[in-house]
Amino acid sequence: MRNYATQMDAAKRGIVTPEIETVAKKENRSVEFIMERVAKGTIAIPANINHKSLSAEAVGDGTRVKINVNLGISGDCKDYEMELRKVRMAVDMGAESIMDLSNYGKTNTFRKQLIDMSPAMIGTVPMYDAIGYLEKDLLEITAQDFLKVVEAHAREGVDFMTIHAGINRRAVEAFMREGRRMNIVSRGGSLLFAWMKMTGNENPFFEYYDEVLDILRRYDVTISLGDALRPGCIDDASDAGQISELIELGNLAKRAWAKDVQVMIEGPGHMAMNEIAANMQMEKRLCHGAPFYVLGPLVTDIAPGYDHITSAIGGAIAAQAGANFLCYVTPAEHLRLPDENDVREGIVASKIAAHAADIALGLPGARDRDNAMADARHKLDWPAQFALALDPEKAERFYNQVPPTERHTCSMCGKMCAVRTTNMILEGKEVKFCSEKGAC
């Protein structure tokens, strides 16, 4: 029986939890480094007491940038086995987090399987599940009904939940007064906005925020304060609606910490490159250093089919400037539910962005794998290069598609490989390109 309520409660009281020990080892940091920041709220360790298969991860300043993979069942694609294959792939490829965004039918069967099998932390958006879980239309759902869904997800073992508590009446007024090119693009945010306008009531997650926190504290669930008013195109970035909601989220973060509930803040969205760094700094200031979880940001709106690239560009800039957690984007973003290949491409793109930021930030051990890759390339050790690659299968497949005639080179340069040439000269060997018969 543990003698603390949450990871934050333990850290404040100087108790070293198994999860704090785990992340300290993973991050090459001292236990004291992790514990001090968990106590302050600048690092979160999402770890539900009922998620028994979890291998804990830290999200926050001074730790490696983490990535999240979105999965789930929709009304147009009800292939549960395909979604589970995506889960296995995400885990095998090193994704630290999986969000179940299922919004069709009785989603708890898939979610329970996910929690049972996944060492990655699991997130959900209870608002997505409310209609299916309660079997009620939006207008029939009460504030207490929404809290029932939060309780159900927490009890099942979800490590963090996106709760759109910041889109209150004040934030809605700012959004409606200013206007937008794309309006609201957050699914959960749009549903809450519709519920508020149809019922005339305040956002239930804001009005009953203390009750939400009590539920999350009971199961040690981290609250991921959702950005219902995130920009859905670069023209809407950094507007009054987005910033007014961010101000609300900063206050909600402090209220959560007062109850020992860990916090992450969610951010944009779509945003031009020149605005990203300022937005990261603004979040750290307004939200008191809370870990920042961003979708992208996508740096242009004209690349459907390639948005894993637009997202990776924005994600790398954001992570170097202060973002701690990147939500992956696949090539299928804006077009359809991603298939397994889309998921793979999205994971690799996000991991590249996260890893590039880790290197730039000088995090302990961040360059180790790159240095090992450089050593393998120096030796022309192809098996070692494949093993060190973010996507070993693709690297080896590409190499073998056009096999080189010279055993240790690749088909790009062949015998004229710069590494081969330099190695031979430094080893005192003569470099020759032509055979004795004159063929070169």
- The string of pLDDT tens digits covering residues 371-427 is 999 999 999 999 999 999 999 999 999 999 998 887 778 888 888 899 999 999 999
- Cα–chain center distance at 362: 20
Tell me the β-bridge partners of 327.
Answer: 68, 295
Cβ distance 114 to 366 under 8 Å? no
Place of tokens 């360790």: 45
The CA distance from 214 to 205, in Å, is 12
pLDDT confidence of residue 70:
94
- Return the DSSP state at 236: G
pLDDT of residue 111 exceeding 70, the answer is yes
Percent of the chain with pLDDT over 90: 85
* 362 contacts: CB under 8 Å, gap ≥ 6: none
CA-based Rg of the chain, rounded to a whole angstrom?
24
424 is written with which tokens? 């031979």
Closest CA to 101 of 328, 384, 314: 328
> Can you read off the two tokens belonging to residue 295?
């979708």
Tell me if 266 is assigned to a ligand binding site: yes
70 appears as a binding residue in the annotation: yes
Largest CA distance in the chain: 89
288 is in an annotated binding site: no
SS3 track for 125-171: CHHHHHHHHHCCCHHHCCHHHHHHHHHHHHHHCCCEEEECCCCCHHH
408 is in an annotated binding site: no
Dihedral sign computed on CA atoms, order 30, 31, 35, 36? negative
* Residue 251 in marked binding region: no
Q: Is the peptide bond before 404 cis (omega within 30 degrees of 0)?
A: no
Residue 80 has pLDDT above 60, yes or no: yes
Any known ligand binding at 88? no
* Residue 104's pLDDT band (cuts 50, 70, 90): low
pLDDT in tens, 357-373: 999 999 999 999 999 99
Digit-coded pLDDT (tens) for 163-220: 999 999 999 998 999 899 999 999 999 999 999 999 999 999 999 999 999 999 999 9
pLDDT category, 74, cuts 50, 70, 90?
A: low
Task: Provide the pLDDT for residue 241.
Answer: 92
Q: Is residue 153 marked as binding?
A: no
Walk me through the domains of the chain, giving residue ranges and CATH numbers: 7-361 (3.20.20.540), 368-426 (no CATH)
Q: What is the pLDDT of residues 112-134, one digit of tens each?
A: 999 999 999 999 999 988 887 88
The pLDDT, as a whole number, for residue 180 is 93
- pLDDT for residue 103 is more than 70: no
135 annotated to bind ligand: no
Gap between the Cα atoms of 96 and 359, Å rounded: 18
Query: For the chain, what's the residue count?
Result: 440
Q: Nearest 5°: phi and psi at 121? A: -70, 150
Q: What is the predicted pLDDT for the residue at 109?
A: 83
C-alpha pair distances (Å), 108 with each of 102, 234, 339, 370: 9, 36, 22, 41
Retrieve residue 65's tokens.
């940038």
99 marked as part of a ligand binding site: yes
DSSP strand pairing (59-60 vs 43-44)? antiparallel
**Any known ligand binding at 186?**
yes
- Report CA dihedral (44, 352, 55, 101) to the nearest 10 degrees: 80
- Asked if residue 183 belongs to a known ligand binding site, the reply is no
- Can you give the pTM of this predicted structure? 0.94
Neighbouring-strand partners of residue 294: 267, 326
Q: What is the mean pLDDT of the chain?
A: 94
Relative to beta strand 97-100, strand 222-225 is unpaired
Q: Helix (H, G, I), strand (E, B), or coil: what is residue 265?
A: strand
Q: Is 161 annotated as a binding residue?
A: no
* Burial label, 127 (beta-carbon count in 10 A; 0-12, 13-18, 19+): buried
Relative to beta strand 263-267, strand 43-44 is unpaired
Q: Binding residue per annotation — 387?
A: no
Residue 422 pairs with which residues in a beta bridge? none
> What's the one-letter identity of residue 164?
H
- DSSP designation for 387: H
Does residue 75 have a pLDDT over 60? no
Inform me whether the pLDDT recorded for 83 exceeds 90.
no
Cα angle value 267/27/297 (rounded, 5°): 20
Check the annotation: does 95 bind a ligand. Answer: no
User: In this predicted model, what pLDDT tens digit does every residue of 214-249 receive, in sequence order?
Assistant: 999 999 999 999 999 999 999 999 999 999 999 999
Closest CA to 299 of 320, 275, 321: 275
Q: Is the pLDDT of residue 110 over 90?
A: no
301 is an annotated ligand-binding site residue? no
Amino acid at 66: K
407 assigned to a ligand binding site: no
- Residue 77: the pLDDT is 59
